[in-house]
Amino acid sequence: SPVAAVIPAAGRGVRLGPGIPKALRTLGGTPMLVHAVRAMAASRAVSLVVVVAPPDGTAEVKSILDAHALPGGSPGGGWGRTDVLVVPGGETRQESVRLGLDALPPGYEIVLVHDAARPLVPVDIVDAVVEAVRDGAVAVVPALPLADTVKQVEPAPAGRPEPVVATPDRSRLRAVQTPQGFDRATLIRAHETITDDVTDDASMVERLGEQVVAVPGHEEAFKVTRPLDLILAEAVLARRRL
Ligand code: CTP
Ligand code: MG
């Protein structure tokens, strides 16, 4: 079955600081979103990418993508065998993903959801996630062991130290990345059923009681969230271009 990738790219990037929407900030002169679309299109499995743009920036995102598509172009507009659609996003990541899912044509039984803010994910990770869904998992996340010890704390008044209440066993914890891969029907049911605030799509599937599985992620699939992450991303890209 062909695979579609939804790329939520509608966030402002508040933690990165003021300026244009995060997905349009450049890395090595190319918008992060373009890197993310290329990363999905690099997988032979992925034949459609749905980009979820800032609600007031759909036209701008379309023209940026057109400007970076290969000249001559396939019927899909120059992303090799991959078609690219652009739809407007929403107030939250969850809503943006749902709007992307609404735009999916029939026939794509496997759906990836990939943050525009993870522009440098290697194609091997994309392929490994697709393979795990093809092997029968309804939801797959790329994940890495943690470097830091993690503490659970109680909330405290601003400026006061926070009481530590627990230290979960780090060897059983994972930091989760994207693309996350799903059986389409399961992901759509999750988005129709779960209304709680969540930070990823797999946690919605967990709340349905379905089994989510983790496969190895990659250091270069880190999320560009804060200014320091931009410096790291530029360095990773520069090293690739050596
Ligand atoms: N996203 C989205 N729609 C929103 C909010 C976020 O499509 N309303 C997307 C972002 O564009 C990003 C991904 O979800 O690709 C992961 O979110 P995050 O890293 O938190 O990006 P932002 O929400 O833009 O950043 P911040 O939370 O710092 O504002
Ligand atoms: Mg956010």
Q: Which atom of ligand 1 is nearest to the CA of 117?
A: 15
Q: At residue 113, what are phi and psi to the nearest 5 degrees?
A: -120, 120
* Atom nearest to 118 CA in ligand 1: 15
Instruction: State pTM to two decimals.
Output: 0.97
Q: Which of 15, 20, 22 to mutate to test the pocket of ligand 1 (most atoms within 8 A of CB)?
A: 22
Return the structure tokens found at 172.
Answer: 């059983």
C-alpha–C-alpha distance, residues 154 and 162, integer Å: 6
Distance from Cα 80 to the centre of ligand 2, integer Å? 30
Residue from 93, 95, 203 to probe ligand 1 pocket by mutation (most atoms less than 8 Å from CB): 93
User: How far does residue 58's CA lie from ligand 1's centre (Å)?
Assistant: 16
Single-letter amino acid, residue 76:
G
> Parallel, antiparallel, or unpaired: how do β-strands 110-113 and 180-183 relate?
antiparallel
Atom of ligand 1 nearest to the CA of 23: 11
Which ligand 1 atom sits closest to the C-alpha of 7? 15
The ligand minimizing its distance to the Cα of 116 is: 1
| Distance, CA of 21 to CA of 44 (rounded, Å) | 29
Give residue 93 CA to ligand 2 midpoint distance, Å. 7
Transcribe 67-127 into DSSP letters.
HHSPSS--TTSSSTT-EEEEEE--SSHHHHHHHHHHTPPTT--EEEE--TT-TT--HHHHH
Query: Which residues form ligand 1's pocket by a CB distance below 6 Å?
Result: 8-15, 22-23, 52, 89-93, 96, 115-117, 223, 225
Site of tokens 């995060």:
22
CB 79 within 8 A of CB 49: yes
SS3 of residue 28 by DSSP: coil
C-alpha torsion angle, residues 92, 93, 99, 104 (rounded to 10): 180
Answer whether the bond into residue 8 is a cis peptide, omega within 30°: no
Which domains, and CATH codes, for the chain?
A: 3-141+175-240 (3.90.550.10)
Instruction: Return the sign of the alpha-carbon dihedral for residues 62, 80, 236, 118.
Output: positive
Say if residue 231 is exposed, middle or buried (CB neighbours under 10 Å; 0-12, 13-18, 19+): exposed
Contact 26, 18 (CB under 8 A): no
Number of Cα atoms under 13 Å in the Cβ half of residue 135: 9
Q: Quote the ligand 2 centre to 14 CA distance (angstroms).
A: 7
Neighbours of 99 (CB within 10 A): 21
Peptide bond into 179 cis (omega under 30): yes
In the reported structure, the alpha carbon of residue 37 is separated from the centroid of ligand 2 by a whole-number distance in angstroms of: 19
- Mind listing the pLDDT tens digit of every residue in the chain (242 residues)? 899 999 999 999 999 999 999 999 999 999 999 999 999 999 999 999 999 999 999 999 999 999 999 886 555 458 999 999 999 999 999 999 999 999 999 999 999 999 999 999 999 999 999 999 999 999 999 999 999 999 999 999 999 999 999 999 999 999 999 999 999 999 999 999 998 889 999 999 999 999 999 999 999 999 999 999 999 999 999 999 88
In single-letter form, the type of residue at position 35 comes to: H
Predicted ipTM > 0.90: yes
φ/ψ of residue 147, rounded to 5:
-85, -35
